[in-house]
Amino acid sequence: MVVGLLESDVHGDIAEEDSTGYEDPDDMKWDSHRDFIVSAFCPATKESSWEPPYGTDSDKLNAYVAKFRANGNKPLVNDDGKIRASHLLVKNETSRKPKSWKSPDGITRTRDEAISIMKEHQRRILNGEVKLSDLAQTESDCSSHTNGGDLGFFGKGQMQPAFEQAAFALNVGEYSDIIETDSGIHILQRTG
């Protein structure tokens, strides 16, 4: 199990078979992209979500976060220096996790096809035809689509390097050019 915070506590307190529905607690990985525990990834199904898995005991999750903070631990970065961004992700067959809520059986488009799709999305956004947040809800391959692509606040060292570099170079309201990471092809907007 990979947590980025307190691995053994999540294993014992949160990722229990009866509270998450996962067959093995080691199938659950927690990631800390924003503040503490905010996204979950199951390697067995290759699914990720910005929400805890169905059936997760929220009391145990809240107790874990409280225990983490009480032990003097802090988020991976200080509150100072965090920014907020939203993004649109188009995955391709070589993406780190080539599945999405739109394509649960797997994504078969090539990298070039993903870039072509993203160029059209970028054109529409920059021409004012559609907002990135609206387009993300229907077209993004990221589970953040439910939040209009909003990734919340994050600091340096919490995102993939190319994504982070682009995000921190933008002023609030600005859009990035097309970015490629292990996750796929992105456009992002700095929102805070």
| Cα dist from 29 to 23, 41, 173, 184, whole Å | 13, 5, 32, 20
Main-chain dihedrals φ then ψ at residue 17, nearest 5 degrees: -55, -45
Cβ-Cβ contacts under 8 Å for 66 (sequence gap 6 or more): none
- Please say if 137 is a catalytic residue: no
> Across the strands, what pairs with 190?
85
Distance between alpha carbon 19 and the CA centroid of its chain, in Å? 23
- Please say if 145 is a catalytic residue: no
The catalytic position among 19, 86, 186, 189 is 186
The catalytic position among 19, 39, 87, 95 is 87
Name the DSSP class of 83: E
Give the integer Cα–Cα distance in Å for 55 and 23: 13
- Please say if 32 is a catalytic residue: no
The catalytic position among 95, 143, 144, 183 is 183
The catalytic position among 133, 142, 144, 158 is 142
Question: Which are the catalytic amino acids?
Answer: 87, 142, 160, 183, 186
